Amino acid sequence: MGRCAGRILIGVVAVLLVAPIGAAQEDREDCQDYPLLTRLGGFFIEGCKEASFASHEFTTEDGKVEVEGRFVSVSYRRPDDAPEMSGLEMIRNYVNAVEDIGGEVLYEGRYSASMKVRADDREVWIEVLPYGTRAYRLDIIEKQAMTQQVVADAAALLDDINRSGHAVLQGVYFDTDTAVIKAESSAALAEIAKLLDAHPDLTAYVVGHTDMTGSLEHNVDLSQRRAAAVVEALETRYGISRDRLTARGVGPLAPIGSNDTEAGRALNRRVELVSR
């Protein structure tokens, strides 16, 4: 049995608590419920936003986890003359609903809860955030890899190296907090190899960088392992002599963006080719 009275019944879509309400208010135009989860009874949609690809940080029992994919956020509110509802009741309704469709509760606290569930071929991460006794927000990520559109170009890399002595290797990606190169990095690696093949006298440092999240020691080690993984891939897949490349990791010590914003942290997570 669940952890609260009034267990929620759900099928593919979570059907949540229905209660007497005050004067009905209309949803904001062009906003709708996320298909997997309906709203709590008596609430209307106050606002929403969506991005085809974004990242969101979810709280788990093991700490913060950043998840990327399609992002949906829906804000709900109850009319002022409707009964109040505690944040715990809001959270518990969604926790029970997700558990009933086979989902996993990653974190449940006083002020938020994070969950994930498989839906068809998607891994959906869900966060419920009450604020006050008449409002809450759902932040949802349909986890997926970004369709990479910009990759390193051999000519552009050479231009950057000639101009500034180094070049950011656009399109080289790793699984989160690992040195495992993602499959979608192949096009960028091929362009780097093309540059090195065309200029056999070019030797370089492959330098890994991270954002400021986590300890300095961990990030320096991670950046070193990522740089080494790029050198290894260039040697084993494309025949580039290891003597021409030296892996180095500097962690978060050379940022090119602000670590106070996600956009800045994304810029700081990179690998560069530095002429030597």
Q: Which residue type is seen at 127?
A: E
Is 3.30.930.10 the CATH number for 154-275? no
pLDDT of residue 184: 84
pLDDT of residue 262: 74
Query: Which of these, 193, 182, 181, 192, lies nearest to 152 by C-alpha position?
Result: 192
pLDDT of residue 149: 56
Question: What φ, ψ does residue 230 adopt, rounded to 5°?
Answer: -65, -45
Query: Which of these, 60, 29, 22, lies nearest to 45 by C-alpha position?
Result: 29
Q: What is the H or E stretch that residue 87 is in?
A: helix 87-100
Query: Which of these, 103, 171, 175, 177, lies nearest to 140 by C-alpha position?
Result: 103
pLDDT of residue 191: 93
Query: Which of these, 103, 204, 90, lies nearest to 158 by C-alpha position?
Result: 204
In the beta sheet, which residues pair with residue 65? 58
Beta strands at 44-60 and 104-108: parallel, antiparallel or unpaired: unpaired
Q: How far is CA 79 from CA 22, 89, 90, 136, in A?
A: 6, 17, 16, 13
pLDDT of residue 198: 95
Sequence spans of domains, the chain: 1-144, 154-275
* CA–CA gap between residue 117 and residue 14 (Å, rounded): 12
pLDDT of residue 147: 55
The residues of the chain scoring below 70 in pLDDT are 1-24, 120-121, 145-151
In the beta sheet, which residues pair with residue 143? 69, 123
User: The pTM is what?
Assistant: 0.52
pLDDT of residue 25: 84
* CA–CA gap between residue 167 and residue 196 (Å, rounded): 13
